[in-house]
Amino acid sequence: MKSIVILISGRGSNMEAIVNAGIPGARIAAVISNRPDAKGLAFAAARGIPTAVVDHKAFPSREAFDAALAETIDTHGAELVVLAGFMRVLTDAFVRRYEGRLMNIHPSLLPSFPGLHTHQRAIEAGVRAHGATVHFVTPALDCGPVVIQAVVPVLPGDDEDSLSARVLRQEHRIYPQAVRWFVEDRLTVTAQGQVRVRDEAVDEAGWTIPSLDRVPGAGACDSRPS
């Protein structure tokens, strides 16, 4: 069994999707939040999953918070750390501590639309396809190796809410799949920073592992904010 720790800041709907997937070989060791009022904590506790709160407001610096968070994660023997709506920018030291075993999901087809407000930016850019990306986290924000993506159409009349809902449904499909591949030891990252999935054809229902050229709205892989 591989131990997985999931970090949330709110409801944690992607956390719920991973828990509900019942991934063979995976043990959800803990759900940790930086907010004591995160609704996802109640969901986890109701299913017998240990929970913890590391409140970022209680620490004088980002570095101090990250050190306390890492200590809590490590008490649960985490082999994979999953960011599921965790609304904190992590320090480079934290990211490197969990290099190759720290995953995030981002609501766009990276490298397009890194950062915030991705759905509105996609609509304003006039793109016809949008989606979600699961990637390994690196010190460059939203620029880590892509594990899997799901594509959705941008429809005439879409607003931020309707497009967000369409993307979220795909997030709930691809995040458990990415975690499953990790648990099954099927993911490798090449020297060029590309993810390879052993013995898997990912070409159905909008699932892709692409190397995308930049499209309107794409951002550069800059350093993580300080």
Cα–Cα distance measured from residue 173 to residue 73, given in angstroms and rounded to the nearest whole number: 25
Q: The tokens of 91 are what?
A: 């320090």
Cα–Cα distance measured from residue 125 to residue 118, given in angstroms and rounded to the nearest whole number: 10
Are the beta carbons of 179 and 26 closer than 8 angstroms? yes
**Out of 106, 130, 135, 172, which one is annotated catalytic?**
106
126 annotated binding-site participant: no
Residues 6+ apart with CB under 8 A from 45: 51
124 phi-psi bin (left φ>0, alpha ψ -120 to 50, beta other): alpha
12 annotated binding-site participant: yes
Active site residue 117: no
Element (H, E) at 40: helix 40-46
97 annotated binding-site participant: no
Which residue type is seen at 184? E
If one counts every other C-beta atom within 10 angstroms of the C-beta of residue 161, the result is: 10
104 annotated binding-site participant: yes
Cα–Cα distance measured from residue 46 to residue 41, given in angstroms and rounded to the nearest whole number: 9
Residues contributing to the annotated binding site:
12-14, 62, 104
List, as residue ranges, the binding site for (6R)-10-formyltetrahydrofolate.
62, 104
Catalytic residues, which ones? 106
